[in-house]
Structure 1
Amino acid sequence: MHLIDLKAYLSELAENNNRAWFVMNKPRYDILRAEFVQLVTSLITEIARFDPAIAGCDPKKALFRINRDMRFSQDKSPYKTTFSSSIVPNGRKKPSEGGGPAYYFQLDGNGRLFFACGEYMPPSDRLKAIRTHILNDSAGFQSVLADKKLKREFGTLQEEGKLQRPPKGFDASHALIEYIKLKNFMVWTEIQIDGWDSAQVQSTLINAFQSAQPLVQWLRAA
């Protein structure tokens, strides 16, 4: 994938986020999207080596649309300024659609690569299942948190949107109650990739995703 071209395109899109500009530059978008599909296809092949469940993921279903959902947003910009993908076994992106834990990454016009693993804002029934799984498999959960490769690559679970009080039905004195309060069960990081090529991006993502595989597997068991 030509990362320089992608960075330039997304940077220009951020400055000209309107339908007229997008239509005029549609040939550029089509080429870059096709290259992005190739990158995601290669990632799926490599991830499947350590996580066979991913082998059936359809790369085109794993891509997010460039169009923004503006129905409930004050920002009426019609297009996203990232290329992003969420890789899950069946290609669906939302836990409510059966997606479950995902390998996610995105590229933007500032030359940043953001990547994450786990579940972001799962629906209430799924969230309860994960919290209950912490109670039922506390040792397994703590083993995931202590994994050296995961900690080196990502640190610990992100605490964005954490509850102030324990969720209903969960003991406030439980040793893992601070994790049970989480609304997201994911790890993430962001790096600058100026001067990189697609092979470096792919290698970085594969190493990171393999490090997070214990978390993905634990969440699937919930």
Structure 2
Amino acid sequence: MHTRDLIQFLSELGENNNRAWFVMNKPRYDILRAEFLELVSGMIPQIVKFDPEVAGCNPKKALFRINRDMRFSKDKSPYKTTFSAAITASGLKKPSQGGGPAYYFHVDAQGVLLVAGGEYMPPSDRLRAIRQHVIADAAGFSKVLKNRKLRETYGDLQDEGKLSRPPKGFDPDVPHIEYIKHKSFIVWKESSLKKSIPADLGKEIVSGFKDAYPLVHWLRQAK
């Protein structure tokens, strides 16, 4: 896809985040959206090679809408300044819909490529199931944390929004209590596409997903 054109479009959208500008530039958006869909469509068969469970993921449904949900937000900008997609075994993108662990990526207006794997801010019942799975399969969780590829690519799990105390009902002395305090079980990495655009962007993203697979696979066992 024309990555530089996408970054330029998103940058301009950030400066002109209103319906009039978007309507005037809709032809540009439509072309870039079609290219992004083609990128995701080509990635799914590559992901299936190491994670067959995503074979049924519909690429059209994997893409997020550019329109923002402004109902509960003070920011009334109508459009997101990212192109993003989430590839899941369930075919559902959002944690609130029961999407489960996902492979996620986006390109933003600053030209930053974010590649991630896991579950970001799952709903309370799902989060409790994951925390209980950490206790029930402490050895398996340790193995994920020590996975060489995952650590080389991502480091540790992101601790954004981590609780200061153990959640209610969890003994502070159980193994991995610091991870049980997490509200998300996800890894991610960022790189600048302004500095360097990979010759094969899809291949680069899929490589990151492959390194996140041990976490995604482990999370699927949490019921």
TM-score (norm. length: structure 2): 0.96
Q: Which amino acid in structure 2 is aligned with residue 95 of structure 1?
A: P
1:158 equivalent to 2:158? Answer: yes
- CA drift of 1:162 comes to 0.6
Query: What is aligned with 2:169?
Result: 169
Q: Superposition pairs for residues 117-196 of structure 1, below 5 Å? A: 117-194=117-194, 196=196
Cross-structure match for 1:28: 28
Distance apart, 1:95 and its partner CA:
2.5
CA offset at residue 97 of structure 1? Answer: 1.9
> Is the contact between residue 2 and residue 198 of structure 1 (CA under 8 Å) also seen in structure 2?
no
**1:109-165 CA-partner distances (Å, limit 9, x unpaired):** 221101111000101110010000011100000000000000000001011111111
Where in structure 1 are there 5+ consecutive unaligned residues?
Answer: none
Q: RMSD of aligned C-alpha atoms?
A: 1.2
What CA deviation, in whole Å up to 9, does each residue of 1:56-109 have, x standing for no partner? 100010011000011111111100000000110232112332310000000012
Contact persistence 1:158–1:186 (CA under 8 A) = yes
For 1:111 and 1:121, locate their aligned partners in 2 and report how far apart those are by CA, in whole Å.
25
164 and 197 in structure 1: CA distance in 2 versus 1, 3 angstrom threshold:
closer
SS in 2 for 1:9: helix
Q: Which moved more, 1:121-130 or 1:91-100?
A: 91-100
Paired letter, 1:131: R
CA contact (8 A) 1:2 1:197 kept: no
Q: Alignment length, in residue pairs?
A: 222
Task: Look up the match of 1:65.
Answer: 65
Equivalent pair of 2:56/2:89 in contact (CA under 8 Å): yes
Q: Which segments of 5 or more consecutive residues in structure 2 lack a partner in the other structure? A: none
1:140-191 Cα distance to aligned partner (Å, 9 max, x none): 0000000000000000101111111111111111121101111000001110
The list of structure 1 runs, each at least 4 consecutive aligned residues, that deviate by more than 6 angstroms after superposition, is none
In structure 2, C-alpha distance between the alignment counterparts of 1:72 and 1:194, rounded to whole Å: 33
Q: CA deviation at 1:197?
A: 4.8
Partner Cα distance (2:23, 2:70) in 1: 19
Amino acid in structure 2 at the alignment position of 1:120: Y
Partner of 1:221: 221
Residues 86 and 103 in structure 2, CA contact (< 8 A), matched pair in contact too:
yes
- Identify the residue that residue 40 of structure 1 maps to in structure 2: 40
Q: Which amino acid aligns with 1:170?
A: F
Aligned amino acid, residue 67 of structure 1: N
Judge conservation of contact 2:90–2:99 (CA < 8 Å) in 1. yes
Q: Percent identity?
A: 63
Paired residue type of 2:153: E
Asked if the contact 1:7–1:109 (Cα under 8 Å) also holds between the matched residues in 2, the reply is yes
C-alpha contact (below 8 Å) 2:55/2:89 kept by paired residues = yes
Q: Distance in 2 between matches of 1:81 and 1:114?
A: 13
Distance in 2, Cα, partners of 1:56 & 1:32: 24
